[in-house]
């Protein structure tokens, strides 16, 4: 018999005394939104919703029509749930908050969801994989929203992503391993594909935007040379999609390393800490890999702003250990 995502969550929650069903109710909002998004993406060319809307988002990036749709789908599917205190999106400058009680004894206003509604959206028009990334935080008892959001990534209660590729795949963790599900269109449900996924200890791909290499700090160039010259005992090949979710998914399955170091244009890194690096770092660690930023573990960074950027490197144990050595950590 199949196991659906909802059933899996319920099984994981069994035995947790405070589990009230609220969490699985919350995740149902995320899965519904991602089903809406994947349906829209599949028909984008026919419905003429490719392309930019002629506006930039808070990051100063061109918003695509599908970025706007994906954001609205998540706001709609999650905003009506009374367990949600706030929604923090890449597309919105400020958190969207709901005036809900934060009484720790009640289920209302208990969770904050941070998300990148459509990651890699500059790839949409050419039919390359894109994804949705989410991170779930508990609101601090009687805490303000900002203070509850600006906490290190190791406080996340769950994280995951959906990759919209040849099939629609959901990967998540609640801190108890990494599990993946494939959307079965015939029944409209995410069905368990693999439990307790583990990243290979070493891979044979590195993934980075090499066009930036000339402006990286020297140690990263040295590291790349180490990989290229066979210094880790393997021949490496490069794979870079430019959709973080897709590059992460490949690294999770095949191992290797992804690097987005500081560049002269983006000295503080390009990728966003709260809704890109933190959730993916949580998944990487749960799968036996690791993830670092400018000064160490991503999940230990205390965020200063909701749209903060960070250098971001993650991958298999062997490649990450060699990187730490080259960086002198
Ligand atoms: P878009 O959402 O604007 O396509 O950005 C994608 C992204 O944030 C992330 O998904 C990629 O890993 C990264 O940017 C690619 O950045 P470069 O184009 O600088 O390599």
Distance of alpha carbon 62 from alpha carbon 60, whole angstroms: 7
Ligand 1 is surrounded, with C-beta below 6 A, by: 61, 119-123, 209, 242-244, 247, 270-271
Mean pLDDT of the chain: 92
pLDDT at residue 57 is higher than 80: no
Distance of alpha carbon 294 from alpha carbon 327, whole angstroms: 10
**What token pair was written down for 310?**
């960070």
- For residues 213-225, give the mean pLDDT: 98
Q: Which residues contact 123 (CB under 8 A, 6 or more apart)?
A: 129, 130, 241, 242, 243
pLDDT higher for 110 or 216? 216
Ligand 1 centroid from CA 191, angstroms: 29
Q: pTM higher than 0.75 for the full model?
A: yes
Ligand 1 centroid from CA 74, angstroms: 21
Ligand 1 centroid from CA 246, angstroms: 11
Residue ID of nearest Cα to ligand 1 atom 2: 120
Residue ID of nearest Cα to ligand 1 atom 1: 120
Helix (H) / strand (E) containing 207: strand 205-208
Mutate to test the pocket of ligand 1, among 243, 250, 310 (most ligand atoms within 8 A of CB): 243
Q: If DSSP codes are grouped into helix, strand and coil, which group holds residue 87?
A: strand
pLDDT at residue 56 is higher than 80: no
pLDDT higher for 277 or 104? 277
- For residues 18-28, give the mean pLDDT: 83
- For residues 95-113, give the mean pLDDT: 77
Confidence of residue 109 (pLDDT cuts 50, 70, 90): confident
Dihedral angle over CA of 26, 32, 35, 40, nearest 10: -120
């Amino acid at each position: 018999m199949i196991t659906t995502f909802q059933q899996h969550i319920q099984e994981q929650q069994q035995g947790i005394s405070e589990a009230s069903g609220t969490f699985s109710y919350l995740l149902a909002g995320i899965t519904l939104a991602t089903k809406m998004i994947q349906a829209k993406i599949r028909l984008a060319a026919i419905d003429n919703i490719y392309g930019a809307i002629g506006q930039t988002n808070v990051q100063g990036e061109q918003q695509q029509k599908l970025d706007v749709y994906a954001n609205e789908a998540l706001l709609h599917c999650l905003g009506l749930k009374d367990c949600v205190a706030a929604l923090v999106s890449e597309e919105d400058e400020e958190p969207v908050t709901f005036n809900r009680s934060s009484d720790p004894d009640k289920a209302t206003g208990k969770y904050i969801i941070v998300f990148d509604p459509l990651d890699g959206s500059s790839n949409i028009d050419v039919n390359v994989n894109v994804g949705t990334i989410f991170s779930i935080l508990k609101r601090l008892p009687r805490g303000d929203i900002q203070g509850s959001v600006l906490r290190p990534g190791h406080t996340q209660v769950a994280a995951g992503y959906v990759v919209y590729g040849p099939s629609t795949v959901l990967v998540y963790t609640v801190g108890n391993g990494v599990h993946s599900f494939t959307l079965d269109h015939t029944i409209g449900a995410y069905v368990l594909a693999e439990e307790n996924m583990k990243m290979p200890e070493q891979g044979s791909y590195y993934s980075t935007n090499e066009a930036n290499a000339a402006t990286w700090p020297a140690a990263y160039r040295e590291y790349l040379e180490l990989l290229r010259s066979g210094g880790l005992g393997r021949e490496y090949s490069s794979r870079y999609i430019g959709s973080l979710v897709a590059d992460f998914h490949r690294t999770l399955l095949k191992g290797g390393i992804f690097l987005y170091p500081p560049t002269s244009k983006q000295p503080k890194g390009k990728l966003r800490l709260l809704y890109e690096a933190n959730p993916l770092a949580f998944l990487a660690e749960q799968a036996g890999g690791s993830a670092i930023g400018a000064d160490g573990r991503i999940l230990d960074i205390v965020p200063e702003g909701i749209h903060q950027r960070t250098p971001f490197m993650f991958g298999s144990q062997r490649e990450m250990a060699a990187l730490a050595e080259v960086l002198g950590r």
